[in-house]
Chain A
Amino acid sequence: MTDPSTESSGFAEADAELSAIREENSWIQRQISNGGLGMEPQAADKATAVYEREAKRAESLSRQADGLQQVSGLGDYPSGKQLAAKFGQKARNGSTGAANLLKQFADELHRKADLFQQAKKNYQATDDQIAEDLRRSAQ
């Protein structure tokens, strides 16, 4: 029999990874806000599309995790009920559920997609500024 406390370590690691991604996104956000990060528009659009697609995949997995908590149909025998409850516990993992974590991960992927669009605007603004500066110097 597996100890539930050791099973929870998998979700704890995922939670830690999620925090790291969240911090990275916050750092990128600060760089963009300071005007220190821009991205060529076509590349930014491609990156946005990839992150949006992956975000939706993570949301789909989140819905599957929600379904895992509802496993049923294993019968009214105690063994069937216990097995169904095990599925629920594994997917739920105490207070932090896989569905919740996957949705939070999806949210960070959506956020990253948004950051690429912000970086694109920075690039365009810088590009416009350089063009304006060149135009003035040429006059």
Chain B
Amino acid sequence: MRTWTRSPLAAVAGAVLVGLSACSPGGNTDHAPTETTDASPSDEVLSEVTPCEMLPPDTLRSFGLQVPGKPTDGLPWTPACDYTGDPVGVTLVKNTRQTVASSEKKSTWASFDRITVNGRPGATAITKGSTQAQICNVLFDAGQGMIQVRAQESGRSDEIDECAKALEIAERIEPNVPEPA
């Protein structure tokens, strides 16, 4: 398994960005982290993470997911991979501009509960417009961004705890992605 280390260059770049953040319009110098539109060390650290390759095919199949997954169109800083499956369908997302802490500040959540994913800062979240869609998001920090597992029960049975399933999948992904920076 690949090991992830931060380069001295990344550390210097991070220090420069911290300095620049004092000039941000929100002036959130004491409420880090906030989202950024600049190229940041997280782009470098997470750049080698590909959503469709975060888990090996056998592991994906063990969750009832069909491989290969399908890369989905989205914003450049939130590439994703979608898997249909039974009993759940799943979308795996890499987000290089947000962390669990910055996500928590958004008003889009019907619920946002802090958890840990193998010891990393994480959260279980349900969006306001999806409360009847049997969709649950598990987020956890990676690099200076985060990984998101969006699980949805497939079918009409309503017998699956999609949050538990999302967490199970997140725990399998966690060792394969960089440590929070």
Contacts and interface: CB of A to CB of B under 8 A. Distances in A.
Interface of A: 55-57, 59-60, 62-67, 69-78, 80, 85, 88, 91-93, 96-100, 102-104, 107, 110-111
Given A72-B103, A72-B106, A75-B37, A66 B156 contact: no
A78 B27 CA distance: 12
18 contacts: A56-B84, A56-B154, A59-B84, A60-B91, A63-B150, A67-B93, A69-B108, A69-B129, A73-B75, A73-B96, A75-B35, A75-B36, A76-B35, A88-B128, A91-B129, A92-B129, A97-B127, A99-B130
A69 B74 CA distance: 12
Contacts of B84: 56-57, 59-60
Contact of B133 (A76, A85, A99, A111): A99
B24 A76 contact: yes
A107 B156 contact: yes
A31 B64 CA distance: 34
Chain B interface secondary structure, helix, strand, loop or mixed? loop
Contacts of B78: 67, 73
Query: Number of contact residues on B: which range applies?
Result: 35 or more
A77 B25 contact: yes
B135 A85 contact: no
Interface of B: 24-26, 28, 34-37, 70, 72, 74-75, 77-78, 80, 82, 84, 89-91, 93, 95-98, 102-103, 106-108, 127-135, 137, 150, 152, 154-156
